[in-house]
Amino acid sequence: MTIANILSIAGSDPSGGAGIQADLKTFAARATYGMAVLTALTAQSTQGVSGVHLVPPAFVAAQIADVFSDIRVDAVKIGMIASAEIAEAVAGALSRHRGPPVVLDPVMVAKGGASLLAREAVEALTLRLLPLATVLTPNLPEAAALLGEAEAADRAAMEGQAKRLLALGPKAVLLKGGHLPGGESPDVLATPDGLRWYEGVRVLTRNTHGTGCSLSSAIAAELGKGRPLPDAVAAAKSFIAGAVRTSEALAVGSGHGPLHHFHALWA
């Protein structure tokens, strides 16, 4: 069986919990070969982001072009974009390669509260990248920012926002409900065929750094292996649940710790 090649286009997290580092760990844990195009360098730890250094847009495009010129790409995950210019560069580069599925995780704010997407970049992301997405994977604050609405506070509001995000151009939307109050963490998948809910139990832990990055990467890995989207989401949700549930096995930092990406592989 040919191993799937998955490309992440995202920012770097030197603490290893989120961004490119989490993406590559996820790709490996899901039995795929990971590749990485850097859009930004961050100075951060489990306690937050203290600085961001953007990669020049032309160099982001050059990285993407070189990967596609030499390597079969079975799926693409897009994470931290940071600026309108980088969004334009990524969209322009990917528009030349419309075959692989694209998972777009609209990273806007880090766990510690630092903004990771310039305000003017939201429009570029919406207009240029959403139409390229096989699936968009926002959390509730990100969905609200993309729509210019208040954050959803219940399932009915989530369904409405998922449908409105779908109308912006992606083929599907997975709206993540981790910010809802209560003990459940449900997600809703909106496609032209309708809505599907994925249930989840909230795990009481501070180790949630990189959860969104890792979920979108796991979906990309499963799509790259040829799974249909509903099954890819289910497999990715199960993987993340296990990674969060076993995260106490790690001792990384004093803030929001990382997931245990290799929980199924390490004794």
137 belongs to the catalytic site: no
* pLDDT tens digits along 146-164: 998 999 999 999 999 999 9
26 in catalytic set: no
What pLDDT digit, counting tens, does each position of 31-46 carry? Answer: 999 999 999 999 999 9
Catalytic, out of 11, 19, 177, 212: 212
Mean pLDDT score of the chain: 93
All structural domains of the chain: 5-249 (3.40.1190.20)
pLDDT at position 167 is: 96
Classify each residue of 14-52 as buried b or exposed e, where b means 16 or more C-beta atoms within 10 Å of its C-beta: ebbbbbbbbbbbbbbbbebbbbbbbbbbbebbbeebeeb
Per DSSP (E only), the strands in 93-145 are 102-104, 135-136
Confidence (pLDDT) at 115: 61
Distance CA 179, CA 165 (A): 18
Set 11, 32, 42, 213: catalytic member: 213
Catalytic-role residue among 176, 200, 237, 257: 176
Task: Flag whether pLDDT at 118 surpasses 90.
Answer: no
Say if CB 259 and CB 243 are below 8 A apart: yes
What are the angstrom distances between the C-alpha of 44 and each of 18, 37, 234?
A: 10, 19, 31
More confident residue, 220 or 179: 220
pLDDT given for residue 46 in this prediction: 93
By C-alpha distance, which of 46, 202, 180 is closest to 112? 46
β-strand partners of 51: 43
From the candidates 42, 46, 137, 211, give the one annotated as an active-site residue.
211
pLDDT tens, 184-209?
A: 789 999 999 999 999 988 888 889 89
pLDDT at 78: 98
The pLDDT confidence band at residue 98, using thresholds 50, 70 and 90, is confident
- Res. 120: pLDDT tops 80: no
Cβ burial of 155 (10 Å; 0-12, 13-18, 19+) is: middle
- In the prediction, which pLDDT does 109 show? 64
The question of whether 242 is a catalytic residue gets the answer no
pLDDT at 128 over 60: yes
pLDDT at position 182 is: 73
Strand locations in 92-222 (E): 102-104, 135-136, 173-176, 187-191, 194-198
Is 208 annotated as catalytic? Answer: yes
The pLDDT score that the predictor gives to residue 111 is: 56
Active site residue 111: no
* Active-site choice (208, 224, 246, 257): 208
Can 211 be counted among the known catalytic residues? yes
